Structure 1
Amino acid sequence: MTPQYLVACAIIVAMHLVGVGMLLALYRLLRGPTVPDRILALDTLFVATIAQTILFGMHLGTAVYFEVALIIAMLGFVGTVVLSKYVLRRDIVE
C-alpha cells in the first residue's frame, strides 16, 4: 500500500461520509419542525457542499473546484444572512 493509495481511499471514504451528512441535513431541511431549524439545516448543507466540492477537487487533482467552493461559500453566507434577517424582521431590505 502506497501513501497515494491510502490518501485516495481516505478521500473516497470522506466523500461518502459527507454525502451521508448531506442526506441528514436535507432530511432536516424538509422535515424541520421550525423555521430556524430549516435555516440551520440549509447552512449545514452549504458547508457540506463546500466540503464535498473540495474533496472532489482533491480526488480529481484539479484546482478549479476550490474556486467553485469559494463561490458556494459566499453564496451560502449571503443566503443564510438574508433568510435569518427575513425570519427576524419579515423584511429583507431596510
Structure 2
Amino acid sequence: MPVELTLIHHAARVALLILMAAMFLALYRLVRGPNLPDRVIALDLIATLALGMIVAYAILTGQPVFLNAAVILALIAFLGTVAFAKYIERRMSE
C-alpha cells in the first residue's frame, strides 16, 4: 500500500472525528439556540458538516457514489435554508 494512500486514509479519519465533534456542538446550538435564526443557522451548519462527513467517507472507502449523495444533500439543504429564510422574513414582518 503506497504511503500517500495511507496518509489520505488517516487524514479522512481525522477529518471525520473533527466533523463529528463539530456536529455535536452544532446540535447543542440547535437545541439551546436562544432564538429561531440561531437554530436555522445551526441546522444549516449540521447539513454542511454532514456533507463534509459524506465526502470524507467517500475518500475513506474509495466509493465515488457517495459524492452523488453529497450533491443531493447540498441541494436539499440549500432549498431548506431558503425556505426557512422566507419563513423568518414573513414572520418578522407580521
- Common fold, TM-score beyond 0.5? yes
Aligned length: 90
User: In the alignment, what sits opposite 1:17?
Assistant: 18
Q: Does residue 74 of structure 2 align to residue 81 of structure 1?
A: no
Letter in 1 for 2:31: L
Displacement of 1:18: 0.5
SS of residue in 2 equivalent to 1:38: helix
* Structure 2, unaligned runs of 5 or more: none
Provide the C-alpha distance between the structure 2 equivalents of 1:2 and 1:77, rounded to a whole number of angstroms.
37
State the match for 2:45 in structure 1.
44
Offset, 1:7: 1.2
The residue type paired with residue 33 of structure 2 is: G
Instruction: Give the whole-Å Cα distance in 1 for the aligned partners of 2:43 and 2:14.
Output: 23
Aligned to 1:58: 59
Q: Give deviations 1:54-94, integer Å, cap 9, x for gaps.
A: 1101111011110000000000000011011111104xxxx
Q: CA deviation at 1:3?
A: 1.9
Q: Secondary structure at the match of 2:34?
A: coil
TM-score (norm 1): 0.91
3-state DSSP class of the match of 1:33? Answer: coil
Where do 5+ consecutive residues of structure 1 fail to align? none
Q: As a proportion of its length, which structure holds more helix?
A: 2
* Identity across the alignment (%): 37
**Misfit runs of 4+, over 4 Å:** none
